[in-house]
Amino acid sequence: MNAIERRIRDLNNLRPDLTAREDLQQYWEETLQTFNDKPLNSSRTQVESHMEGVEAYEVHFEGFDGTPIRGMYVHPAGGKERKWPCIVTYPGYQGTYYEPESLAMWACAGYAVLAIDLRGQKGGTGSQLTFDSGVIKGFVSQNITDKYRCYYRAIVVDCLKGLEWAAQQPEVDKRRVATVGSSQGGGIALLTAALSDIPSVAVAHVPNMCRIDYAMLSSTGSTTELSQYCEVYPDRLEQVLETVSYFDMFNLADRISIPVFVSVCLKDLVCMPETIFPMYDRIVSEKEMEIYPFSGHTVGSHQLKAGMAFMKKHLARVE
């Protein structure tokens, strides 16, 4: 057995304890019920692009609160009677503003795609979320001691409502919707797959939001904001750990009932394999993992191609 095989074996044998609280299921049932009937108050406005054969729209809808969540929606032009499979994609942490051209590969592959901004980050979406105490730089520590008002709950509800918007579009075949993302976006792709009955397949590259307590100790990514928060407020550590447990895909993985594709990089110091392998082990539905031993926190062409092949297989057109 070589060193790479031994490393993968050891990762597959990880069996950490769950951090879920007793009311995990109740918490999400109440959350989903609370926001189920909240109106989207949505709009879509056609915009120009440099691509031929596609239509592009700027989208706004409301999610957790009154904040207009921005998205870019693109679909192949023509064929008004045809329903396209749809990709709903989420950005990595501090993701950039979407332009139609950045979504070209999905349109070329024959998909409609809705790319959702996350509130307050580098896209075009603001945030009306208020918080009562100081935060550590970025966003994830906003209201982190309150599981009902925290930033994590706001963005998850936003993204669930975005899924709802996509499934309602006249060009979309609501039977064939995929959630897709990398890093933060990969974690949200899995979370929405665990919490919504809309998606029929999920693709998560190097997903974040897995074993968040371990990531707080060891990752160099966004969870360092939580570590630094607890360094400033050590008396709030247990409150922070309780809050993040409700959004940890390690605790929620067994709720997923659709096919899932996950990619993981063994040299990733942001979304570490020690956080992803145990989460993946708990997925009970059909699943596939691609392992890249020599890559860090990246999504290369091989990962994209493998994820798209997985989606194509599961979103094959139903005549």
**Alpha carbon distance 101, 12 (integer Å):** 39
The most distant pair of C-alpha atoms in the chain lies apart, rounded to whole Å, by 60
Burial 217-226 (b: 16+ CB within 10 A, else e): ebbebbbbbb
CA distances, 69 to each of 66, 181, 285 (Å): 9, 17, 31
**Alpha carbon distance 211, 245 (integer Å):** 8
Is 183 noted as a catalytic residue in this protein?
yes
- In sequence order, which residues have a C-beta less than 8 Å from that of residue 115 and are 6 or more positions away? 71, 72, 73, 74, 89, 91, 98, 102, 103
Strand ranges inside 38-190, DSSP E: 43-47, 54-62, 68-76, 84-90, 112-116, 172-182
Q: Which of 183, 219, 222, 295 is catalytic?
A: 183
Tokens at 94, concatenated: 């501090």
With contact defined as beta carbons under 8 Å apart, do 106 and 74 qualify?
yes
Q: Which of 60, 75, 205, 297 is catalytic?
A: 297
Is 297 noted as a catalytic residue in this protein?
yes
- In sequence order, which residues have a C-beta less than 8 Å from that of residue 189 and are 6 or more positions away? 89, 90, 179, 180, 181, 202, 203, 204, 207
Tokens at 217, concatenated: 């100790």
Q: Which of 158, 173, 213, 268 is catalytic?
A: 268
What residues act catalytically? 183, 268, 297
